Amino acid sequence: MRGKALLGWLGSNAEALIALVIAVVAGVLGLTGVASVAHVNSAILVTLAALSLALLRERWRSEADPDTRKALLTAQASLQKLPEQLERINTVDGMLSDARAALDEAAKVRVLTGNEISRVLAEARAEAKEWIFRGGTATFVRAVVIPECVRRARQNRRELSIRLEILDPANHELCARYANYFRRMVDDPNEDERSWTTKETQVELYATILAACWWQQRYPRLKIAVGLSSTMTIFRWDMTQSCMVITERGPRFPAMLIKEGRFYYDYWRNELDESFNQARPVHLRRAQLLSDDPTVEEARELFARLELRLPDTYSDEDVAEVVRHAVAPENPYA
């Protein structure tokens, strides 16, 4: 069987073998000088003729075999479509990559509930070098965040940056809308929001501004800025250098946690920066030196210097309440 296969192979490739033998013999004779240049050139012509004959026979076989011809045409058509198919594959691969990235980012947004919100905020305060807030009155920030962050910064002798964007207390209509909104959102008569009034909202806002000045004078390495917004928001944003927490009305309601390094974190930071830039700045450097327990007169003078003069309807008791909320605040969620 092997002999027949060898003979068949030799018969199928006879022209190529003849060309190879002639080329080898002519080359050797030419190099050794046995054959003349004319003989070598003649051998080259014979070799080319043998190769041409082999090519013609191979082409004839291909054209004579319809299956082979059909296969070649099919292969040619497939090769012509290959670039388009590769482009589609690249497009699908890009879509899959984008989808994987979006799913990965979504997985980094955690939903917090109950005590988990308080725990995450406590961990954020423990390492906070900066605190950015945007919301309503910043009551929790004034009562818990600023005192604790200042205490830890003083212990570690490090700088602390705090930025607050709150409602404008001089905008009576805005404060009324804020109080009315949350009154309408609760059904339980025992909820604190049921008793919110426009004046109470303004008192909380004035207290936050006074507290910012008071704490800035108590810790020189504290850099604090306050901006007054002309629009109401129902959310509150608390952002540090490591994370951001978005809540609505305290730990009783679900919150979202976004870690630093995710593009959602950067997007929200840009949003908060732009929002603060549009807010009315409070020039805290104009504040006079406040005592440890500011008096009513000191408070009135402070807001006059800040160009946020208290309403003429505010009695001394009202101003004293502002001071008390600023210097000795209570945790609203305790």
Give pLDDT tens digits for 121-148: 999 999 999 999 999 999 999 999 999 9
pLDDT digits (tens, 9 = 90+) for 75-87: 666 666 666 766 6
Say if residues 166 and 137 touch (Cβ distance below 8 Å). Answer: yes
* Residue 186 scores a pLDDT above 80: no
Average pLDDT rounded to a whole number, residues 296-315: 96
Residue 46's contacts (CB-CB under 8 Å, 6 or more residues apart) are 19, 22
pLDDT tens per residue across span 234-257: 899 999 999 999 998 767 788 999
Residue that wins the pLDDT comparison between 101 and 167:
167
CB 201 within 8 A of CB 167: yes
